[in-house]
Structure 1
Amino acid sequence: MSEMTRPAMARLPKFFRGVDPAVATAFACIVLLLVFGSFYSTSFLSPEYLLQQLKVASFLGVIATGMMIVILLGQIDLSVPWSVAVGGMMACAAAAFGPMGVALAIPFGILCGALIGVVNGIGVAYLRIPSMIITLATNAVAQGLMVVYTGGFSPQDSATAAMREIATGELIPSVPNAVIIWAVIGAGAVFLLTRTTFGRSVYAIGNRERAAYLSGVDTRRIVLIAFAISGALSAFGGVLLAGYASKAAQSMGDTYLLPSIAAVVLGGTSILGGRGSYLGTIAGVILITLLQSILSVMQMPEAGRQVIYGVVIVGMLLLYGRSPASR
């Protein structure tokens, strides 16, 4: 920062001086998208439409929460697509086993995703396999297992009433349950990252793993837990999506890999690890959701959307990936 800009920054309120530029940029882009979208549809700024978009954002927000924790380590989780699908499909499958299966459907689906995360964590932390390789491999294995389970056909099991309620119901009038769930998970993530030894260790490993290890951090255990959390949250996202659609689908997680990464890096989390805040991830999730909505209105094909997400990730890496860690 130059000598000329320091006095100007000092005159700003303390709140604004502490805001990450990437987070501020993300929120500014949200405002621009809202204004831009209002030109395509007069209902774009209506409370009903915005609440619906926030509900849709909740599914991505749950998945992106786990992705953020992994990226803060300087790692990546490419098993998201089939962790999502496994969570939804296994939760629906459990419901076919009577009342006990119905009661355990949601935790069983989450557990299956956590197991995928544990495999990823063991590969990265203990076997020292690059996260890009091991998570891509477990994604392929999960895909193969689900194809074998379904015989190559669409799953026939339906979501339970509880799954539909948490995804589409409203415990508080006019506030979707999915939004409340995202808020609870987000609050838990903020507490975990800012108020616990685990969170401090995640940032330390992301900045410099060897230094964290020499300072007494059990780096392998932290990495294992982080990937398990990512897998569990991806699977929970799949449970919510299955409840939203009343059934699971094999391709239900395919469209969430790049958006979840893009949402995290758009919010200023360094893809090289060690720096980022959950407020930025919230902004990134909302920004990606609004962008998806506008692209849908413009009838942008899915291939074009994936290109845009890729460009966003590369652009944010060039802008923030080489900046020094702030933690």
Structure 2
Amino acid sequence: MKKNIFFIYLLSWLVALGANAQEIRPLSTDSAYGVVNVSVCNLREEGKFTSGMSTQALLGMPVKVLQYTGWYEIQTPDDYTGWIHRMVISPMSKEKYDAWNRSEKIVVTSHYGFTYEKPDQESQTVSDVVAGNRLKWEGSSKYFYKVSYPDGRQAYISKSIAKPEKEWRASLRKDENSILRTAYSMMGIPYLWAGTSSKGVDCSGFVRTVLFMHDIIIPRDASQQAYIGQHLDIAADFSNLQPGDLVFFGRKATADAKESVSHVGFYLGDQKFIHALGDVHISSFNPTDANYDAFNTGRLLFAVRFLPYINKEKGLNTTDLNPYYN
């Protein structure tokens, strides 16, 4: 009798396990690539809505599709992987993916905006857009660009919040002052764990978003960003740092363990830095300043100079040279 009860329980457990397991379905050649369809796409650690968010991808971003279980596991141009709902991506064959990458794009330059069914801001909205979104350029009217989405939807976007990609690239500057002006433009945007868009950012997502607005792709996490470019041990008076350097924070090294990086910001000069913690704001390492940040000063580790190394190191490149976009 006991033996029968045991087998009944075992059979029930196996049935439940099978019901809950995700079926991994083989990818066809028509869906091994894809392009993001929504302004901001949330990547999760597992293929379910209750799973934690790990990063984000933006509208028009080309990705690789790794597997499908009802959700897609994808890899983004910074080589980050995560799971997305099937409704937020257009799976594509390599040929269609290459055609999307070759097409002329319109890049969203404003932090936030909308596209419309007609070249009229009083017409029905098609979707929201954020800085760095890319749409296929289909034509122009007086005040609007006609665009199409990866899934074929068409819309109009105001010329006041977007530019043709080639024109945008030609106008971009990648010097420290220009990048920091973009960082300042995000002041007050709320902190969002795993956020990498104008809607919300975490600390490394803030760095990534600012640089992506200058067409630069950097590794996703602070712990990855910390080991690119030139390592700088910070002088007591900060005299060896330049505005635009990245400053890193975390647990300092001990005799038994190396340092552990958990936070990052842009150095502004004059012992100040801008970072995302609560929201995007400016803090100071100087105890006499009103915005002195004792907590982060106490866990300051080192700095990194990265601008001279763009397109010279793996993982630090511009989209025109990133393999996902070409």
Taking structure 1 as the reference length, the TM-score comes to 0.25
Q: Per chain length, whose mean CA-contact separation is higher, i.e. which structure has more relative contact order (CA < 8 Å, sep 6+)?
A: 1
More helix by share: 1
The two structures have a TM-score, normalised by structure 2, of 0.25
